[in-house]
Amino acid sequence: MKSETPVQKSGWIVWWINTVIYFLLAVLLVGALSHVSALSNNQMDRALAIGMSIVIALMLIAIQIISFFMIKFIHKDNSYIYPIVLVVLAFFGPTLYLIPGIWGIMYANGKKLKK
């Protein structure tokens, strides 16, 4: 297996920062759901809050899984696809993915120019 490049190391740092932030967000979300249940007697409000929480949690988990594999394969075949996917993911929320995404594009471009 290839040794990790600084691009990949920065990607893993960003990935872990986002994972910790998402975990803290999940803890806050559970606390907010308990307050929604206490403040509202309307079952539709509770159902909507729980449903939206599940949708948001699934979206955040999907982003983390996709970004994990994009960082893992960021230098596979010196392709632009993996860093570009990281840049696109940055527009869906975790903007820190712009760092390894743009850096990965520049790294792949440098490798292709040297050939």
Cα–Cα distance, 22 to 57 (Å, whole number): 9
State the residue for tokens 């079952």: 43
State the residue for tokens 């990935």: 15
pTM greater than 0.85: no
Which is it for the CA torsion 85, 88, 94, 97, positive or negative? positive
Buried b / exposed e over 59-98, threshold 16 CB at 10 Å, is ebeebeebbeebbeebbeeeeeebbbbbbebbeeebebbe
**pLDDT 10s per residue in the chain (115 long)?**
356 888 899 999 999 999 999 899 888 877 777 776 666 667 777 788 788 888 988 998 999 999 999 999 888 887 889 999 999 999 887 888 899 999 989 988 887 777 6
Nearest to 5, CA basis, from 78, 67, 66: 78
Cα–Cα distance, 86 to 66 (Å, whole number): 9
